Amino acid sequence: MTHPFIRKLERFTRLSADDQRLLERMAFEHVRRIGPREDIVREGDAPGEIHLILSGWACRSKQLEDGRGAILAFLLPGDLCDPNAILPRLMDHSVGALTAVSVAGIPRPLFDDLTLKHSRIAQALWGQVLIDAAIQREWTLNLGQRTAYERLCHLLCELFLRLRAVGLTQGSSCELPVTQAKLAEATGLTLVHLNRMLQELRAANLVVLKNKTLTIPNLEALMSAALFNPAYLYLNQAGEASDAAAAGSLLALDERSAGLRP
């Protein structure tokens, strides 16, 4: 019974049962709980820990001096917050919690030791970094070339597929615990215009969004409206198309980390 984040790490390299156990223990021995609008890491920090999201949503964000700011990435369970920290560098952006979040905050020395002795684990982690980079490139394309409408379609597709990959979907639905304001920040649109695009999407019957729950009646159609090509997510073929009902993994995750709360 492997955890979602471990399955996610195995997208590249197979991890031995030993490696897996080690990772799990490491992660669940350093759980930290973070409230909805708190920061996990702040710009300029010299982070002493590597943060791995266990549950909840977070985002990378960066501000201009005059106050304008953007969300640069959404971080979902299984995602690394600060790969930068793997090599000692200051953060060039912040990571903030969008919902209540539980993260594993693994101290650098421990982490270094882990990756040094277990090259497979190191490799798996670097794989995540490369996927993150691929996603960032796709976002660049998104903002540069797609229309507002396509942009929103694309973002919703990506989030849904990424959630499904870690077993956080139920059929054609998933949680979307973010405000429209946040979606606007992520798509480079104003709140007003994002709202209008969303309504067009609803009118076209491409999405149902109510009570923080997103339902995609026809994923194919949404993907085609978004000009979405999932290659950049490097999902495994069959294995990751499973949802929570099949994997039962969301609960497993939450029970575990909750159990460790002080």
Cα 150 to Cα 167: distance, rounded to the nearest angstrom? 26
Q: Which one of 133, 181, 251, 258 is in contact with DNA (CB under 7 A)?
A: 181
Q: Which of 14, 37, 66, 210 binds a second copy (CB under 8 A)?
A: 66
Please give the residues from 153 up to 192 whose contact with a second copy meets the rule CB under 8 A. 187-188
Number of residues that bind a second copy (CB under 8 A): 46
CA Rg value for the chain: 18
CB 5 within 8 A of CB 256: no
Binding mask 229-248 for DNA (x = CB under 7 A): --------------------
Interacting partner of 134 out of a second copy, DNA, none (Cβ under 5 to 8 A depending on kind): a second copy
Least distance (Å) between residue 66 CB and a second copy? 7
199 binds a second copy (CB under 8 A): no
Give the H or E element holding residue 214: strand 213-215
CB contact at 8 A, 149 and 228? no
Q: Residue 30: name its binding partner from a second copy, DNA, none (Cβ under 5 to 8 Å by kind).
A: none
Sheet with strand 101-107: strands edge to edge: 31-34, 101-107, 49-55
- CB burial of residue 145 (10 Å; 0-12, 13-18, 19+): exposed
d(CA 160, CA 73): 14
Counting contacts by CB under 7 A, is residue 198 touching DNA?
yes
Residue 171 near which of a second copy, DNA, none (CB within 5-8 Å, type-dependent): none
Q: Which of 37, 231, 237, 259 binds a second copy (CB under 8 A)?
A: 231
